Structure 1
Amino acid sequence: MSAETFENGTFVGRVWRPDVEGPALVVLRDGVLYDITSKETPTMRDLLERDDPAAFVRAQDGEALLSLEDLAEQSVEATGILTQFHFLAPCDLQAVKACGVTFARSMIERVIEEKAAGNPALALKIRERVTAIIGDSLRNLKAGSQEAAKVKAALIEENVWSQYLEVGIGPDAEVFSKAQVLSAVGWGASVGLHPISNWNNPEPEIVLAVDSSGRVKGATLGNDVNLRDVEGRSALLLGKAKDNNASAAIGPFIRLFDETYSIDDVRNADLDLMIKGEDGFELKGHSTMKEISRDPLDLVSQTIGTHHQYPDGFMLFMGTLFAPVEDRDVAGEGFTHKKSDVVTISNPELGSLTNTVRLSTECPPWTFGTAALMRNLAARGLL
């Protein structure tokens, strides 16, 4: 991880401090991480609730901890090792939410998963049929528009309508809970696959940091680990497919909105993905926010409002264009993870998020929850 990536902008995050046996709120300056945890901002939630968190951070001196290079070296596979510094997910008390089926190309893959009932062997034939009917007709379609309603009627006639198309081009976005508070992992940690899954992939996404009033305060990177077979068997298995030990990775930092970075940069962001396997397999992928079917602020408003409040704010995964169809082992069955795959998601403005794939049962257990955080902060005189 190069400090040069973070020369411009305001980057804040969280690290585990072994000397205080708890998390620290940090800012990155000239390649060094400074602890800015205080009674004013004991948590990331408190920082993001400020009207101008970037200005507040710039006014803090902080305590120099270690270099970004040293932190990265100590963070690889260090989640759960409480005797050394390591990256944590940059959020703490925020809910972790996600929007799905927000890109036309990946929307078609969700339809294929449903029609295949989670069986990758059926995917190729179904993909050919669905693509022949739908083609590129969804690419520039505005979700919830009259044109989308007409396409819906036509697809119903062709008997290819799907619940995924309903949330993809209908008026209501899919919004679900991706992870429990404090359960997401950070840079360098293992990400977990539920052992019942045999068809899965990473999902490179931009994640918005939103305060309790619905104001977007910054953005970061995320891996919304996707179990294609489990979710494809039934939409009622979505919760089981999405929320497992270490199944959400976020980081490395939240880039706060300031004069150098705004929601328009999010709207125009490109993401690159690299998967490297111990078997020598490599797969490159790409996603671009320019092709999202719903504006990021529309996704925020569909998540928070008079219908639903988040007093501690939330992190919002916004979906991905990436849906791998390249065969890894068996012809026609596309891509699936193998244990020890190294996944790197990168963006020039946000840095890179690197994690190693394990089974969720093999990842370090999640033990540091909200009660532990409150006790730790209280013992440190921060509450």
Structure 2
Amino acid sequence: MIPADKKALLVGRVWRPGIGPALVRLDGNAVTDITHRQIPTMQALLETEYPAATARAAPGDPFCMRAALEVASTETAGGDDLRLLSPPDLQAIKAAGVTFAESMVERVIEEQAAGDPGRAETIRTRVRSVIGDSLSGIEPGSEQAMQVKAVLQEEGLWSQYLEVGIGPDAEVFTKCQPMAAVGSGAAVGLHPISCWNNPEPEIVLAVNSRGGVVGATLGNDVNLRDVEGRSALLLGKAKDNNASCAIGPFLRLFDGNFGLEDLRKSVLRMQVVGQDGFVLEGHSSMTRISRRPEDIVAQTIGTHHQYPDGFFLFLGTMFAPVKDRDRAGQGFTHHPGDMVTIHEPSLGTLQNTVRLSTECPEWKFGTAALMRNLAGRGLL
């Protein structure tokens, strides 16, 4: 579950029975509660001048072992059970789309297929015959990108997805409400109207209210290909439902041992194992991202838009599976019960079971509940 690097400074959130959400630090194999009046929340920790130093120096209460927490964090855990929560609490949950050339092509195919997976392979062949490798290595908004745009327009293949993929403006949307993301071990949800969907393994940045990137973790930004493919105006429905994404297991804070430069070399590996015996494997290399992470952050926060509680930002993925699962030419889609494992050596392993959103535990602990809980514990 955790990085092999023993120098990794890991913090997170855990539900403690009889207490509620706790801010924790991982000390070797011990899970230490560092919640106190100065840093009652993850948001408060990340707003300090030096989050890594603050977290490292914070006094705490070691209350369980990591192995016990990992065993307890399952899709059936809920209520007052011990379990991992997703690291963010008060922060907005944002996501960037179409940030890899490979995923740009698949988004165009979704749009052209109007959400019908049966038409995807025919369209894929035509689109790739025109686009080929022309999108690889393009700097969004550059003169070269505009030349490619002109060619694609002439071929009738220009798309709103290519606009945000190689145009000057990034696609940044709200993935879900604060604290609506689930943690590692929990069930991640598919809206029941979807029949063509897939996982999206991504790096997630932790950004404070000043626009400073202070840490990173893993995320699964589940994608409903048929819903979004029918209309971009359905993006909200396609991206935000009960248990619509997972973040975790822990947040690795940036310090002298780890930072953005290390993330640029990251390779995320993903495996989907179905109860039907189906196995899907893939990877996503951050060296192939079309926009620099700091540029996406700058397009999200600035004089044009403030986030007083900071935000967590999904950086997008190059992974768009096309391996047939049920029938030839239909490509991949999830089945309930799929186990999705996302691993990156410097960030650890995020694992979740796929269910319908209507079958996942209802989300009931929001901002008001957190404030009441903290006030009752004398932390506000």
> What TM-score, normalized to structure 2?
0.99
Offset of residue 277 of structure 1: 0.4
Query: Which of the residues 172, 182, 185 maps onto 1:185?
Result: 182
C-alpha distance in 1 between matches for 2:161 and 2:149? 12
Q: What one-letter code is carried by the residue in structure 2 that aligns with 1:67?
A: M
Contact 1:101 1:110 in 2 (8 A): yes
Aligned position for 2:27: 29
- 1:343 paired with 2:352, answer no
Match of residue 36 from structure 2: 38
Is 1:62 the equivalent of 2:67? no
Tell me how far 1:5 sits from its aligned partner. Answer: 2.8
- Quote the offset at 1:333 in angstroms: 1.1
- Counterparts of 2:263 and 2:315, CA distance in 1: 11
- Residue number in structure 2 paired with 1:207: 204
Match of 1:292 among 289, 292, 315: 289
Is 1:194 the counterpart of 2:227? The answer is no
Kindly provide the amino acid, as one letter, of the partner of residue 63 in structure 2: L
Matched, 1:106 2:103: yes
Q: For the residues of structure 2 that align with 1:263 and 1:73, how far apart are their CA atoms?
A: 31
Residues in 1 aligned to 2:143 and 2:79: alpha-carbon distance in whole angstroms: 55
SS at match of 1:5: coil
Which aligned pairs between 1:112-123 and structure 2 lie closer than 5 A?
112-123=109-120
Gaps of 5+ in 1: none
Residue of structure 2 aligned with 1:272, choices 262, 269, 272: 269
Query: 1:155 matched to which residue of 2?
Result: 152
Work out the CA distance in 1 between the residues paired with 2:57 and 2:341.
33
2:239 aligns with: 242
Match of 2:128 among 123, 126, 131: 131
Task: Tell me the distance in 2 between the aligned counterparts of 1:24 and 1:78.
Answer: 20
> Whole-Å Cα distance in 1 between the matches of residues 252 and 51 of structure 2?
11
Q: Specify the SS of the correspondent of 2:23.
A: strand
Question: Which residue among 138, 141, 155 is the counterpart of 2:138?
Answer: 141
Residue 19 of structure 1: how far off its partner (Å): 1.9
CA distance in 1, matches of 2:54, 2:131: 50
- Code of the aligned partner of 1:177: T
Structure-2 residue corresponding to 1:5:
4
Instruction: Tell me if the contact between 2:3 and 2:348 (Cα under 8 Å) persists in the aligned partners.
Output: no
The answer (yes or no) to whether the contact 1:205–1:223 under 8 Å persists in 2 is yes
Q: Quick one: which of 319, 322, 343 aligns to 1:322?
A: 319
Q: CA deviation at 1:33?
A: 0.5
Provide the secondary structure at the position in 1 that maps to 2:62.
Answer: strand
Q: CA deviation at 1:4?
A: 6.5
Alignment correspondent of 2:74: 76
SS at match of 1:71: helix
Deviation of 1:8 (Å): 2.0
Percent same amino acid among aligned pairs? 64
CA distance in 2, matches of 1:135, 1:332: 20
Q: Which residue of 2 aligns with 1:258?
A: 255
Q: Distance in 2 between matches of 1:276 and 1:164?
A: 30
User: Any conservation in 1 of the 2:73–2:186 contact (CA below 8 Å)?
Assistant: yes
Counterpart secondary structure, 2:4: helix
Q: Is the 8 A contact 1:6 1:351 kept in 2?
A: no
How far apart, in 1, do the equivalents of 2:220 and 2:72 lie? 21
User: Quick one: distance in 2 between partners of 1:106 and 1:379?
Assistant: 46
Equivalent residue for 1:49? 47
Runs (4 or more) in structure 1 with deviation over 3 Å come to none
Alignment of 1:85-96 (within 5 A): 85-96=82-93
Go from structure 1 to structure 2 and tell me whether the alpha carbon gap of 1:44 and 1:162 turns closer, same or farther (over 3 Å shift): same
One-letter code of the match for 1:300?
V
State whether residues 78 and 188 of structure 1, in contact with CA within 8 Å, keep that contact through their aligned partners in structure 2. Answer: no
8 Å contact kept, 2:15–2:80: no
Contact kept? 2:3, 2:345, Cα under 8 Å: no
Q: Distance in 1 between matches of 2:330 and 2:158?
A: 23
The whole-number CA distance in structure 2 between the counterparts of 1:89 and 1:4 is 17
Q: Say if 1:272 and 1:286, in contact at 8 Å, map to a contact too.
A: yes
Equivalent AA in structure 2 for residue 11 of structure 1: L
Unaligned runs of 5+ in 2: none
Paired AA for residue 165 in structure 2? G
Size of the aligned set, in residue pairs, is 380
Contact 2:91 2:311 in 1 (8 A): yes
Aligned counterpart in structure 2 of residue 228 of structure 1, from 225, 229, 235: 225
Following superposition, the deviation at residue 329 of structure 1 comes to 1.0
Q: Is the 8 A contact 1:92 1:181 kept in 2?
A: yes
Counterparts of 2:129 and 2:43 in 1: how far apart (Å)? Answer: 47
Q: Tell me the alpha carbon deviations over residues 161-200 of structure 1, each in whole angstroms, 9 at most, x when there is no partner.
A: 0000000000000010001011110000000000000000
1:84-115 deviation digits (Å, cap 9, x = unpaired):
21000000000000000000001100000000
